[in-house]
Chain A
């Protein structure tokens, strides 16, 4: 069973997905990807991952929409590409779409255009920019139950103060209670950046 550990691994799988979509005459889709695969593509994280997380579909008016389900052609193409490359079922999924409930950092979609690539006539993939991936990781790290693993990723990424500040600006703009603010402050203390955010 294959996994993804580098940009070439991810691009190889997406090229096969694009080919399978073209064979099925699927409609063109443009997706924004985040998670470990995006971190691999941007050379931010060394760990390997078994799936590619799509956060949303970009519409014709440059608005992002959550992925409830892919079309039957895309689902078939995902399964065929997975079978062809020895990937796990669901290797390309929209489970991260739920994050869109809180929105994305301002300008994230525009910045993702800088990491866009076409994989044939039916598939365009944009990877979120480093600063936005860090902001999403910071939010995930505040998960009261399951945040530990995201903190580990953040430590491995080693964000700069400017990148942490970008995350704070987004997370700080969300309506929040004092407990959440304290938790964000504690997270920043771990990165020696508590001075960037006052509770």
Chain B
């Protein structure tokens, strides 16, 4: 009896359905063919997609939102306010949006993998 192959076996994880995540991944793949990551695996600025979130290494966070207009990553960074008398208990935490430049531009964020696009 001829068995029906699963979509995963054809490299179509998740089936044939068209999703925003797949479209984004496809766009990223095309850009990465034109602008290849460096030997260190860092995605170059020219291959970044405006409004997408990237996983990588940054000073203030490991996930960042790429703002193409400002050529800047936005991260969510936390500061803990602690009292040395009750250490390591954190009494308050403030979360701020911080900005980091791409490492190739002398900044501190090194994007390595696309995560998802912002809701549109």
Pick from B78, B79, B93 the residue with the most CB of A within 10 Å.
B79
On whether the beta carbons of A98 and B106 are closer than 8 Å, the reply is no
Look across to chain A and name the residue whose beta carbon is closest to the beta carbon of B106: A48
Query: Would you call B101 an interface residue if the criterion is a C-beta within 8 Å of the partner chain's C-beta atoms?
Result: yes
Note all chain A residues with C-beta closer than 8 A to B94: 98
Note all chain B residues with C-beta closer than 8 A to A186: none
Could you tell me how many residues of chain B have their Cβ less than 8 Å away from some Cβ of chain A? Answer: 26
Could you tell me how many residues of chain A have their Cβ less than 8 Å away from some Cβ of chain B? Answer: 26
Note all chain A residues with C-beta closer than 8 A to B71: 1
Query: Would you call B11 an interface residue if the criterion is a C-beta within 8 Å of the partner chain's C-beta atoms?
Result: no
Note all chain B residues with C-beta closer than 8 A to A149: 59-60
Shortest Cβ gap from B5 to chain A (Å) = 47
With A3-B107, A5-B106, A175-B84 as contacts: A144 and B90 at CB distance below 8 Å: yes
Note all chain A residues with C-beta closer than 8 A to B86: 177
Query: Would you call A95 an interface residue if the criterion is a C-beta within 8 Å of the partner chain's C-beta atoms?
Result: yes
With A50-B72, A50-B101 as contacts: A177 and B107 at CB distance below 8 Å: no
Query: Would you call B35 an interface residue if the criterion is a C-beta within 8 Å of the partner chain's C-beta atoms?
Result: no
Note all chain A residues with C-beta closer than 8 A to B77: 146
On whether the beta carbons of A176 and B85 are closer than 8 Å, the reply is yes
On whether the beta carbons of B101 and A146 are closer than 8 Å, the reply is no
On whether the beta carbons of B79 and A176 are closer than 8 Å, the reply is no
A-B contact pairs, 30 of them (CB 8 A): A1-B72, A3-B106, A3-B107, A48-B107, A48-B108, A50-B72, A50-B100, A88-B70, A88-B72, A95-B96, A98-B79, A98-B81, A98-B94, A142-B84, A142-B87, A143-B80, A143-B82, A145-B80, A146-B78, A149-B59, A152-B59, A174-B85, A175-B85, A176-B87, A177-B87, A179-B87, A180-B84, A180-B87, A180-B88, A183-B88
With A1-B70, A176-B85 as contacts: A88 and B78 at CB distance below 8 Å: no
Q: How far is the CA of A152 from the CA of B43 in the complex (A)?
A: 23
